[in-house]
């Protein structure tokens, strides 16, 4: 059975890419003291898998969404309090309405982090702004608590908390993050994985979606980085043009956002990465 590291569900989540990244690290003989940086962390499934399984020594996870950032801060800095909150919270429609109001208010901190977690586990496809699983009348096949296995989720948080001193959390725009001195000093001795909002239909999946110029500005910055980076996207003509000078591979990815959908993805590699694993690992 596949091990799940993150307490969060994510539409278009890249947990399938974890084994590929592990093989990439092995094939290119990256040092085990490498830092892994993920500027679009979301559920951070890849980052956590690499850290907990010993492939990297530290992870830097960044997400500009205040609710997602509040969640990561809550479980890293107050994991005991967060676990107690899970234990005592009933998974009901009334509680869902309460958590939705906290999320709408958007006041950063522990409560916003918990509301993001609660809604992620209880909403359709894990989308924070979506409706709850089963509907308000709970007449659907699946009920609001079907993705809220308290014991399992608590165990994931406990495992993550053991590595809290090796996890650094940011809430920055990606371009700002990658020009931060603390980050630029590490770029030659780290693995940078970027999973930006999709070029097509990004507005349907992401609270912070990009326009064409945002994608282009990111590409312009990435091309200047001399270290090891990997970037994955939906397979579009525009994106292929932006990264045309770099090696790439394409693969299919199943994601859940209302319905099961099969998308074509493309992944690009910096020129510093000499050996690319079989794409069949994804």
Walk along the chain (282 residues) and give the pLDDT tens digit of each residue.
578 999 999 865 567 789 999 999 999 998 778 999 999 999 999 999 999 999 999 999 999 999 999 999 999 999 999 999 999 999 999 999 999 999 999 999 999 999 999 999 999 999 999 999 999 999 989 999 999 999 999 999 999 999 999 999 999 999 999 999 989 988 888 999 999 998 986 455 555 678 999 999 999 999 999 899 999 999 999 999 999 999 999 987 655 555 545 568 999 999 999 999 988 766
Helix (H, G, I), strand (E, B) or coil at 44: coil
Hey, what are 169's tokens?
């959390």
The model's pLDDT over 110-162, given as tens digits with 9 standing for 90+, comes to 999 999 999 999 999 999 999 999 999 999 899 999 999 999 999 999 999 99
pLDDT at 252: 79
d(CA 35, CA 226): 15
Q: Lay out the sheet containing 259-269: strands in order across.
A: 167-170, 58-62, 35-38, 190-194, 228-234, 259-269, 247-257
Locate the domains of the chain by residue range.
1-64+172-282, 66-165
pLDDT at 279: 81
pLDDT at 227: 92
Instruction: Determine whether 113 is exposed, middle or buried from the number of CB atoms within 10 Å of its CB (0-12, 13-18, 19+).
Output: buried
The model's pLDDT over 231-247, given as tens digits with 9 standing for 90+, comes to 999 999 999 999 999 99
Contacts (Cβ under 8 Å, ≥6 apart) of 117:
7, 8, 71, 74, 82
pLDDT at 225: 94
pLDDT at 260: 46
Tell if the pTM clears 0.85, that is, is over it.
Answer: yes
d(CA 247, CA 230): 10
CATH topology of domain 1-64+172-282: Rossmann fold (3.40.50)
pLDDT at 253: 67
Contacts (Cβ under 8 Å, ≥6 apart) of 279:
20, 249, 250, 251, 267
pLDDT at 106: 94
pLDDT at 12: 58
Name the phi and psi angles at 35, rounded to 5. -100, 140
Q: Nearest 5 degrees, angle CA 25-CA 154-CA 89?
A: 140
pLDDT at 251: 85
């Amino acid at each position: 059975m596949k091990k799940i590291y993150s307490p969060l569900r994510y539409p278009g989540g890249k947990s399938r890419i974890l084994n590929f990244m592990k093989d990439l690290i092995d094939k290119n003989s990256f040092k085990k003291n490498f830092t892994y940086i993920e500027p679009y962390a979301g559920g951070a499934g890849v980052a956590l898998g690499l850290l907990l399984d010993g492939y990297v020594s530290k992870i830097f996870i960044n997400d500009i969404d205040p609710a997602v950032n509040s969640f990561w801060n809550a479980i890293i800095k107050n994991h005991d309090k967060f676990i107690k909150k899970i234990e005592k919270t009933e998974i009901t429609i009334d509680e869902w309405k309460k958590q939705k109001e906290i999320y709408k208010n958007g006041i950063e901190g522990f409560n916003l982090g918990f509301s993001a977690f609660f809604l992620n586990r209880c909403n359709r496809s894990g989308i924070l702004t979506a409706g709850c699983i089963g509907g308000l009348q709970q007449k659907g096949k699946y009920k609001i608590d079907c993705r809220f296995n308290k014991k399992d989720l608590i165990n994931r948080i406990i495992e993550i908390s053991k590595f809290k001193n090796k996890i650094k959390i940011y809430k920055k725009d990606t371009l700002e993050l990658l020009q931060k001195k603390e980050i630029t000093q590490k770029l030659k001795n780290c693995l940078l994985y970027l999973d930006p909002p999709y070029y097509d239909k990004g507005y349907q999946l992401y609270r912070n979606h990009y326009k064409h110029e945002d994608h282009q500005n990111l590409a312009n910055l990435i091309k200047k980085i001399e270290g090891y980076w990997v970037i994955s996207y939906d397979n579009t003509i525009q994106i292929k043009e932006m990264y045309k000078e770099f090696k790439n591979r394409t693969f299919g990815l199943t994601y859940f956002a209302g319905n099961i959908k099969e998308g074509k993805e493309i992944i690009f590699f910096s020129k510093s990465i000499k050996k690319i694993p079989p794409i069949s690992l994804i």
